[in-house]
Amino acid sequence: MVLPEGLIEAVRNHLDITWDDAVGDEKLSGIIARGIKYIDGIAGSAMDYTIEDKPRELLFDYCRYVRSNALDEFQKNYLHELLSLQISEEVKAYEIANPIL
């Protein structure tokens, strides 16, 4: 998966990773890609992670939890935000499919 431009740098900044580490960046790229697939799956569609919005925030927190070996806690701690994202995306899809005349 090709990550959106600048995303790995933004995640590195969020996680306070200030040193250069090519192997670490490769690992982080995998974490980001898995996080994108996870959040897109919850939302039911591809999200935009290049803008400051809820999907980006959730992705950054997903990465933080994975790096802390606490992924099992992520869904529990962010259940409300994940459900809110899922519901808002379902509402958007419904409004597109059923426009008010």
Q: What is the pTM of this model?
A: 0.92
Domain ranges of the chain: 7-97
**Rounded Cα distance, 2 and 10, in Å:** 15
pLDDT at residue number 99: 87
- Res 13: pLDDT: 97
Residues whose CB is less than 8 angstroms from the CB of residue 43 and which lie 6 or more positions away in sequence, other chains included: 55, 85, 86, 89
Averaged over successive runs of 10 residues, the pLDDT of the chain (101 residues) comes to 94 96 96 98 96 97 97 96 96 91 61
Contacts with 31 (C-beta within 8 Å, 6 or more apart), sequence order? 62, 63, 66, 67
Rounded to 5 degrees, φ, ψ at 27 are -65, -45
- At CA 7, angle to CA 96 and CA 40, rounded to 5? 35
